[in-house]
Amino acid sequence: MPLRCTLPLPAALTPPQAAAVLRRHGAIVVLESGRPSAAHGERTVVAGAPLAEFEVRGSTAALHARRVRATGSAAGEPRWPGSAELATAATPFHALERCVQALPDGAAFGWFGYELGAPPAIARLDPWPDAWFLLTDVAVEWERPSAAPRLACGDPRLAATLQEELAAAAATGTASPAGARPPPAAADASPFRREDLDLARYGERFALARAALAAGESYQLCYTYPLERPLPAECITALWERLRRDHPAPFSAFVATDERALVSCSPERFVRVGPDRRVEARPMKGTAPRPPDAAQRALVAQALRDSEKVLAENLMIADLLRNDLGRVCRLGSVRASQPALVEEHATLLQVVSVIEGELAAGRTTADLLASAFPPGSMTGAPKVRAVELLRELEAEPRGPYSGVLGWWADDGSCDWSVVIRTALCAGGRARVSVGGGLVWDSTAAAEWEESRAKAAPLLAALAAIERATPAGGTADGGARP
């Protein structure tokens, strides 16, 4: 990530401590490799103190200035595009690209929601905009878990203030109450509730989806549904800290503003673009619970590899991504370099295909996002018709869920995760949506159970927060999201 990290920070500083400091200066985005690897990366970034915030609502993209650099800052003030210039951009991706290019010493951090670009008449999930990003030159970065953090900041005066505040936070060595490991839950405790979607009601939607498959309208449909739990705003930080500790994921994320927060444990990369314009996508389809025993895990992994249904489901979406990338990549460069890998995550085994390519001359990151969004793993195939069918099948809009989250720098480099295994927190509620790809030989019972396996870790964390929160009290000392 091309942010200039020039100021050293204490090795003892933790991402939650850095997040708490930067939260005093506005909205924050935390991107963390909770399961570091060569494939997924090792860096953790806490970005904040935004110079501006970009958001899209319906067909309107807007940029809101938030901070002015001190006089004498080497980079000077960004020359942001005006509202008229944003309005003429081909897509919201191109509108944000113009904003990113106005900030050569920083980057954009945030998310594009699933309904981005949908017709205005399509319902949206309140209070979430279609896209939201902070643009900043301020970030605390760990290149790898064992590395000491460094501070990037384009404003020398603010840099001195932040360096002092971050050093003080590291010196306290205090942890929030969320850091204390709670007693183990009863072995038979379930995070699910009677009001959650049961198998009978799921089966009704499944039958409608299967009818569309039978009619040849789609080959695969990623049907999803939401589960909700109470979560006071003052407990959101505790939820994030609990999940990063108990359920680490390759693309963990925490986004907090005054109005809402997003806590993600995503295992799936959408697309990554390097400074060399090389593109990588890692669509994920095929899931099984991860046994604690290594021998049993090997058996489950082999069963996934041997499953004709799983392979067909995964390769169908891999082909869709190859088509999406092929529209904007150099002719002949797109290939499935590693089809149907089995990856191990905290609680699940997942089947992933790696698709690679290279952006064609004259094509930009915005062109790639416009071609590949929304993620095919969250729609089904063919994508356009699948999206239409899902709007009829699903009772509510998805919001940020099923969209993408990550960072974007002015040289076009970027990295995006798919927003799954995520809690959307607003208005005293947490919304956890789950689903899976339905194909002709799917069964309602198996797909329902798979969706519950995906939801269980987040719902268990929310249940633990609820148990630990006294009536009228907080679980994390009252820190705002």
Annotated catalytic residues are 268, 285
* Residues 6 or more apart whose Cβ sits within 8 Å of residue 363: 328, 329
Give ∠ CA 107-399-219 in degrees, rounded to 5: 105
Which string of DSSP letters, residue by residue, matches 78-130? --PPPHHHHHTSSSHHHHHHHHHHT-TT-EEEEEE-TTTT--TTS---TT--S
Asked if residue 209 lies in contact with residue 306, where contact means CB atoms within 8 angstroms, the answer is no
The span from the CA of 436 to the CA of 426, in Å, is 25
- Judged on CB neighbours under 10 Å (0-12, 13-18, 19+), 319 is middle
The span from the CA of 250 to the CA of 415, in Å, is 12
Token duo for residue 187 = 């072995």
Which string of DSSP letters, residue by residue, matches 281-329? E--EEEEEE--SSHHHHHHHHHHHHH-HHHHHHHHHHHHHHHHHHHTTB
- Alpha carbon distance, N-terminus to C-terminus of the chain: 25
